[in-house]
């Protein structure tokens, strides 16, 4: 009994930081509609800067002053990022902001190692809170009580800020209708910057407060960001109270999940989130999202099948690639095979995102399921490669059938988060069901048949499969089914009216995408000769997103180019520099700013320069200016 | 002239909506912009305050060209805008809606406080703490006008203030607009309801399919019923 109480107290103490970070994310999303992936990075920066300051200046003033100053410094960095980076891309599709903040996260991860080293750091204890309090004969750190009190205090202060100051009222108004706020004479530029700064401040404060409890490490950001996403989604995007309640819920689930279900402790939180989303699609305290930002600008150029000339061009490229094994070395070919696998993975996600209008953050689940499907067949049934390549992806299909049924009930960010949750659940199963999957040790010895065992042979195999699959996806886009999907994406209501069942259409798209990802995954297993839980992990999902967005979300097959560019760049950088994340992050940020429509979208714009702008000013420019102004 | 719009052309995507639209509002005048559904009234107003992305033409406000300025800047110069469909902040109380609209006093222009707006719209005074989402359509219309007045504008664009309101409320609305006029405000309203426009306006424009078809005093319009029949639904 006492033990349970102590466990509950420790959960509450963890909830404090989680709440701080999550409320910051929620506030930013509410007003700016930006899912700030860099939020975890700011949390980590808060901890590092606080470590340096409190290390330098001892004493209560040094500690508390250090924590506060660190949070302010990081908030200033956040404001700077908003001004120089985000302001440039407010008019881009929403996911681009996610991509940009992801790039920043990568950069911060390397910068942190560069500045503070890769060793974990032990911060000082909080002066005055170094001891422990005895609760029913068990010791609870007194600092935990401080944190437990801090949560409600911050909640109260935020409430006052949003209800008793003009700034807060403006923020709440902007959460509902930004254009109207501008129409009343409010300069949203500064409103956005200040909101972003406040959100980042809360994240950094949450991080700084952690230093007496845990070591400071350069993996802090990813470990918290997923949990924070979960909290924000359970609580309801944009709701601070929701973040508070959900932070407690999640922290207690963590604290007790370990005791009750140690085997699947990691899954419990995600299961709860999935249940909440299915029962309350906008989270516990959330409200239905306003209509998604007008898709104006998207698909100004209607999609069309390739012309014969273009087909010949593509065929020529395929032929040249197919000739590569005649002159390229083994290393190049194995890199080439890997890129091909990712081309298919990205193309399948692209299909779901563009045609289905569904942005999955957990597409790696189906990639990984395909890989595990193939690997398990080889390991337990001694299946040959040919059979495993055909049957393995079925596991991806089954996963997509099951998870997709739940996911397509949601849309927008909530859809993205539910896909993320399912991917994490799948990952947990692969990681923790050691008897079957080998857990962290993975499944080894998944080798191709002899005819495909040379780098040349495998490259040809991969090329053949990928070309056929990508072509099939493209044909689907222009099939009647594809038209139905696009109708469902563009106007849920209208398509229902003409007799298209949006949900089941999207579900089918989900299954198609999952199956093709599974095929890519099965290939991947044979390419690497092994499968590990990472194939299902968040970084793999994010890689897929980056490829799609880099290629261009408004294009039919941009993901192919995005995958080639991103994967080649990543592999090349990894071999060239220690700071590959810094460079890669920087490149992503630059690409986002330079090509807000993706690489292929940019090229298409070049080709289709619109002839004459109505009334003089460049029409493209005029549209952009207008959207920026509307965003102000 | 207080507001002078000339050669306005506006587009939504590829669709050309306004064609060389000209209109003007004099100091202290109440002008009506009349037209049927989809004629381009709202687009004209949205273009003036910079909410329509693709537009060309000149918008002179108090002698300055404001056509390239961002929306908030135009509004801060004293050009108030009341959108159609009201768009009040449903989560915010009446008082808080006013807080959003509040701007610094402007010299030479009436300064509005919540108290003065409650005098204009007594209904609002009885529900200061009520969230905007829990109000009737008429009350919301009053709130959206009051909210814009809090910015102490010298000219107000009122987009269909009588739309969807009960006759009694429409009368109240006309009284309020006349009171605003007496405060020295210049006003341009868009209307389909000729009867309502006649109650309050000095002059009128008729817009149809994005072009101005008629301009003159209300008396001119009275004298030419064929114009009215051609361009307005009666
Ligand atoms: N956001 C938009 N995108 C594309 N077309 C639009 C948009 N808004 C309005 N239109 C079109 O522009 C034209 C003018 O519309 P507008 O709203 O200005 O008319 P209105 O005179 O205000 O009509 P109402 O009396 O119905 O309010 C209409 O044909 C309408 O369909
Ligand atoms: Mg209108």
**Alpha helices, DSSP H only, in A351-391?**
364-381, 385-391
Q: Is residue A448 scored above 60 in pLDDT? A: yes
Domain of B83, in residue numbers: 3-231
Contact A177 B151 (CB under 8 A): no
Q: How far is A519 from chain B (nearest CA, A)?
A: 40
pLDDT at res. A526 = 95
> Residue A311's CB: how many other CB atoms inside 10 A?
11
- Say which ligand is closest to the CA of B33: 1
pLDDT digits (tens, 9 = 90+) for B22-79: 999 999 999 999 999 999 999 999 999 999 978 899 999 999 999 999 999 999 999 9
Q: Is residue A294 scored above 50 in pLDDT? A: no
Confidence band of A31 (pLDDT split at 50, 70, 90): confident
**What atom of ligand 1 comes closest to residue B36's alpha carbon?**
25
Task: Tell me the best of B18, B39, B159 to mutate to test the pocket of ligand 1, counting ligand atoms within 8 Å of each CB and taking the most.
Answer: B39
What's the rounded Cα separation, in Å, for the pair A264 and B52?
Answer: 54
Q: Phi/psi of residue A64, each to 5°?
A: -70, -40
Contact B54 A183 (CB under 8 A): no
Two tokens, residue A168: 């807060």
Pairing of strands A530-531, A443-444: antiparallel
**Structural domains of chain A, ranges and CATH numbers in brackets:** 2-279 (1.10.3470), 323-537 (no CATH)
A619 contacts in chain B (CB < 8 Å):
54
What's the rounded Cα separation, in Å, for the pair A193 and B45?
Answer: 29
Tell which of A159, A185, A621, A622 to mutate to test the B interface (max B CBs under 10 Å).
A185
Of A236-250, A471-485, A616-630, minimum mean pLDDT range: A616-630
What's the rounded Cα separation, in Å, for the pair A585 and A591?
Answer: 10
Q: Is residue A476 scored above 60 in pLDDT? A: yes
Q: Phi/psi of residue B30, each to 5°?
A: -115, 120
Q: Across-strand partners of B93?
A: B131
Confidence band of A92 (pLDDT split at 50, 70, 90): confident
Q: Is residue A129 scored above 90 in pLDDT? A: no
What's the total number of domains in chain B?
1
Using a 10 angstrom Cβ sphere, with 0-12 exposed, 13-18 middle and 19 or more buried, the burial of residue A23 is buried
Of A469-473, A556-560, B92-96, minimum mean pLDDT range: A556-560
What's the rounded Cα separation, in Å, for the pair A316 and A321?
Answer: 9
Per the listing, tokens 């114009």 go with B227
pLDDT at res. A3 = 82
pLDDT at res. B232 = 81
**B7 or A89: whose pLDDT is higher?**
B7
Confidence band of A293 (pLDDT split at 50, 70, 90): very low
Among the partner residues B49, B73, B96, nearest to A169 by beta-carbon distance: B96
CA neighbor of B150 nearest in space, from A135, A29, A170: A170
B103 contacts in chain A (CB < 8 Å):
185
Over residues B190-196, mean pLDDT = 90
Contact A632 B83 (CB under 8 A): no
pLDDT at res. A499 = 58
- Where b means 16+ CB within 10 Å and e means fewer, A201-232 reads bbbbbbbbbbbbbeebbbebbbebbbbbbbbb
Q: How far is A426 from chain B (nearest CA, A)?
A: 39
pLDDT digits (tens, 9 = 90+) for A185-234: 999 899 999 999 999 999 999 999 999 998 999 888 877 888 898 899 89
What's the rounded Cα separation, in Å, for the pair B159 and A127?
Answer: 62
pLDDT digits (tens, 9 = 90+) for A335-350: 999 999 999 999 999 9
Confidence band of A470 (pLDDT split at 50, 70, 90): very high
The pLDDT > 70 percentage for chain A reads 91
Q: Is residue A300 scored above 60 in pLDDT? A: no
pLDDT at res. A301 = 55
What's the rounded Cα separation, in Å, for the pair A165 and A172?
Answer: 11
pLDDT digits (tens, 9 = 90+) for A523-555: 999 999 999 999 998 889 988 988 988 888 777
Q: Is residue A617 scored above 50 in pLDDT? A: no
- Kindly state the greatest CA–CA separation across chain B: 49
Q: Across-strand partners of B54?
A: B11
Q: Is residue A557 scored above 90 in pLDDT? A: no
Two tokens, residue A54: 């409190």
What's the rounded Cα separation, in Å, for the pair A276 and A117?
Answer: 40
Contact A180 B89 (CB under 8 A): yes
Two tokens, residue B103: 């701007």
End-to-end Cα distance, chain B? 31
Over residues A394-405, mean pLDDT = 94
DSSP A218: T
Task: Tell me the best of B33, B41, B86 to mutate to test the pocket of ligand 1, counting ligand atoms within 8 Å of each CB and taking the most.
Answer: B41
Two tokens, residue A213: 């409890």
Confidence band of B211 (pLDDT split at 50, 70, 90): very high
Among the partner residues A173, A188, A616, nearest to B92 by beta-carbon distance: A173
Contact B53 A622 (CB under 8 A): yes
CA-CA distances (angstroms) from residue A202 to A153, A159, A275, A445, A525?
Answer: 13, 14, 28, 47, 42
Confidence band of A604 (pLDDT split at 50, 70, 90): confident
Q: Is residue A608 scored above 80 in pLDDT? A: no
pLDDT digits (tens, 9 = 90+) for A222-272: 778 888 988 998 999 889 999 999 999 999 998 888 787 766 666 788 788
CA neighbor of A270 nearest in space, from A402, A424, A419: A424
Q: Is residue A106 scored above 70 in pLDDT? A: yes
What's the rounded Cα separation, in Å, for the pair B207 and B35?
Answer: 5
CA neighbor of A241 nearest in space, from A231, A254, A255, A226: A231
CATH of the domain at B193: 3.40.50.300
Per the listing, tokens 């040959």 go with A384
Contacts of A364 (CB under 8 A, 6+ apart): A423, A517, A535, A536, A537, A538, A540, A541, A543, A544
Give the residue whose CA is nearest to atom 5 of ligand 1: B12
Using a 10 angstrom Cβ sphere, with 0-12 exposed, 13-18 middle and 19 or more buried, the burial of residue A534 is middle
Q: Across-strand partners of B212?
A: B207
pLDDT at res. B78 = 96
Q: Provide long-range contacts, Cβ within 8 A and 24+ apart, for A319-324.
A: A321/A463, A322/A460, A322/A463, A324/A459
pLDDT at res. A102 = 85
Pairing of strands A138-141, A132-135: antiparallel
pLDDT at res. A618 = 34
Contact B54 A614 (CB under 8 A): yes
**What atom of ligand 1 comes closest to residue B192's alpha carbon?**
25
Report the helix count and the strand count for chain B, using DSSP H and E: 10, 10
What's the rounded Cα separation, in Å, for the pair A88 and A194?
Answer: 17
A239 contacts in chain B (CB < 8 Å):
none
Task: Tell me the best of B8, B18, B33, B43 to mutate to test the pocket of ligand 1, counting ligand atoms within 8 Å of each CB and taking the most.
Answer: B43
**What atom of ligand 1 comes closest to residue B35's alpha carbon?**
21
Confidence band of A65 (pLDDT split at 50, 70, 90): very high
Over residues A588-608, mean pLDDT = 79
pLDDT digits (tens, 9 = 90+) for A157-175: 999 999 999 999 999 999 8
What's the rounded Cα separation, in Å, for the pair A220 and A465?
Answer: 39
**Average pLDDT across chain B, whole number:** 93
Contact A169 B100 (CB under 8 A): yes
Q: Is the dihedral of CA A313, A319, A321, A323 positive or negative?
A: negative
Confidence band of A23 (pLDDT split at 50, 70, 90): very high
Pairing of strands B186-191, B30-34: parallel
Per the listing, tokens 């849920």 go with A492
CB-hemisphere CA count at 13 Å for A576?
Answer: 11
DSSP B40: S
Give the residue whose CA is nearest to atom 28 of ligand 1: B38
Two tokens, residue A56: 């330098």
Among the partner residues A185, A622, A627, nearest to B75 by beta-carbon distance: A185
CB A388 within 8 A of CB A452: no
Report the helix count and the strand count for chain A, using DSSP H and E: 27, 4
Confidence band of B94 (pLDDT split at 50, 70, 90): very high
What's the rounded Cα separation, in Å, for the pair A48 and A54?
Answer: 10
Name the B residues in 72-101 with CB < 8 Å from any A CB: 72-73, 75-76, 81, 83, 87, 89-92, 96-97, 99-101
CB B117 within 8 A of CB B150: yes
Q: Across-strand partners of B214?
A: B206
**Site residues for ligand 1, CB cut-off 6 Å:** B 12, 15, 17, 35, 37-43, 84, 192
CA neighbor of A567 nearest in space, from A413, A337, A352, A387: A337
Cα–chain center distance at A441 = 26
Two tokens, residue B77: 């110069």
What's the rounded Cα separation, in Å, for the pair A25 and A29?
Answer: 6
Contact A629 B76 (CB under 8 A): no
**What is the pTM (predicted TM-score) of this model?**
0.84
Q: Across-strand partners of B216?
A: B204
């Amino acid at each position: 009994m006492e033990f349970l109480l102590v466990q509950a107290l420790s959960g509450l103490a963890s909830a404090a930081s989680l709440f701080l970070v999550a409320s910051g994310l929620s506030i930013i999303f509410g007003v700016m509609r930006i899912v700030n992936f860099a939020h975890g990075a700011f949390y980590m920066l808060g901890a590092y800067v606080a470590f340096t300051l409190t290390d330098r200046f001892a004493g209560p003033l040094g500690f508390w002053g250090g924590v506060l100053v660190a949070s302010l410094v990081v908030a200033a960095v956040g404001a700077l990022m908003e001004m120089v980076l985000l302001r440039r891309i407010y008019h881009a599709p929403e996911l681009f902001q996610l991509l940009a903040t992801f790039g920043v996260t990568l950069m911060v991860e390397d910068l942190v190692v560069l500045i503070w080293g890769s060793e974990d750091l032990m911060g000082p204890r909080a002066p005055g809170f170094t001891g422990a309090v005895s609760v029913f004969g068990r010791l609870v750190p007194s600092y935990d009580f401080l944190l437990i009190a801090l949560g409600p205090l911050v909640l109260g202060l935020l409430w006052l800020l949003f209800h008793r100051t003009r700034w807060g009222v403006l923020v709440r108004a902007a959460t509902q209708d930004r254009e109207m706020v501008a129409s009343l004479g409010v300069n949203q530029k500064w409103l956005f910057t200040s909101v972003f700064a406040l959100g980042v401040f809360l994240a950094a404060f949450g991080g700084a407060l952690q230093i007496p409890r845990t070591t400071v490490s350069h993996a802090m950001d990813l470990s918290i960001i997923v949990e924070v996403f979960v909290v924000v989604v359970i609580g309801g995007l944009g709701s601070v109270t929701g973040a508070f309640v959900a932070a407690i819920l999640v922290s207690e689930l963590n604290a007790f999940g370990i005791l009750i279900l140690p085997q699947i402790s990691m899954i419990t939180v995600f299961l709860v989130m999935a249940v909440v989303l299915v029962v309350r699609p906008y989270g516990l305290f959330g409200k239905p999202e306003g209509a998604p930002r007008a898709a104006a600008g998207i698909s100004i150029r209607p999609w069309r099948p390739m012309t014969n000339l273009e087909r010949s061009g593509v065929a020529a490229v395929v032929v040249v690639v197919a000739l590569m094994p005649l002159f390229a070395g083994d290393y190049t070919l194995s890199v080439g095979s890997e890129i091909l696998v990712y081309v298919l993975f990205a193309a399948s996600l692209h299909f779901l995102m563009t045609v289905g209008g569904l942005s999955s953050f957990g597409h790696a689940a189906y990639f990984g399921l395909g890989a595990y499907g193939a690997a398990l067949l080889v390991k337990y049934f001694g299946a040959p490669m040919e059979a495993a390549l055909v049957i393995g992806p079925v596991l991806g299909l089954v996963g997509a059938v099951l998870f997709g049924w739940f996911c397509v009930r949601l849309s927008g960010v909530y859809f993205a988060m539910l896909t993320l949750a399912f991917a994490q659940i799948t990952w947990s199963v692969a990681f923790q069901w050691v008897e079957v999957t080998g857990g962290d040790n993975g499944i080894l010895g998944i080798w191709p048949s002899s005819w495909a065992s040379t780098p040349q042979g495998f490259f040809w195999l991969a090329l053949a499969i990928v070309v056929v699959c990508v072509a099939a996806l493209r044909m689907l886009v222009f099939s009647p089914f594809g038209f139905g999907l696009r109708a469902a994406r563009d106007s849920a209501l209208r398509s229902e009216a003409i007799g298209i069942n949006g949900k089941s259409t999207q579900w089918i798209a989900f299954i198609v995408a999952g199956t093709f990802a599974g095929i890519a995954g099965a290939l991947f297993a044979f390419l690497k000769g092994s499968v590990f839980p990472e194939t299902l992990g968040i970084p793999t999902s994010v890689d897929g997103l980056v490829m799609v967005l880099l290629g261009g979300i408004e294009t039919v097959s941009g993901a192919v180019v995005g995958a080639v560019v991103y994967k080649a760049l990543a592999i090349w950088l990894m071999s060239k520099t220690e700071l590959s994340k810094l460079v890669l992050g920087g490149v992503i940020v630059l690409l986002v700013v330079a090509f807000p429509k993706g690489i292929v979208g940019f090229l298409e714009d070049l080709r289709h320069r619109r002839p004459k702008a109505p009334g003089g000013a460049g029409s493209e420019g005029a549209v952009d200016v207008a959207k920026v102004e509307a965003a102000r | 002239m207080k507001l002078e719009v000339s050669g306005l052309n506006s587009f939504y995507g590829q669709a050309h909506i306004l064609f060389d639209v000209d209109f003007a509002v004099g100091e202290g005048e109440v002008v009506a912009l009349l037209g049927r559904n989809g004629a381009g009234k709202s687009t004209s107003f949205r273009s003036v305050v910079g909410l329509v992305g693709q537009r060309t033409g000149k918008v002179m406000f108090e002698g300055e060209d404001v056509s390239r300025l961002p929306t908030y800047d135009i509004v801060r110069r004293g050009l108030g805008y009341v959108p159609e469909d009201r768009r009040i902040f449903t989560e915010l109380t009446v008082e808080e809606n006013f807080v959003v609209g509040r701007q610094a006093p402007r010299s030479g222009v009436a300064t509005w406080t919540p108290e003065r707006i409650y005098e204009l719209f007594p209904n609002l005074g009885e529900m200061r703490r009520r969230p905007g989402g829990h109000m009737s359509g008429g009350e919301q219309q009053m709130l959206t006008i009051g909210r814009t007045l809090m910015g102490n504008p010298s000219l107000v664009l009122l987009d269909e203030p009588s739309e969807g309101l009960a006759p009694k409320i429409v009368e109240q609305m006309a009284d309020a607009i006349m009171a605003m006029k007496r405060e020295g405000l210049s006003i341009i309203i868009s209307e389909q309801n000729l009867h309502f426009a006649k109650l309050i306006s000095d002059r009128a424009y008729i817009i149809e399919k994005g072009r101005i078809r008629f301009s003159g005093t209300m008396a001119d319009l009275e004298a030419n019923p064929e114009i009215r029949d051609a361009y307005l639904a009666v």
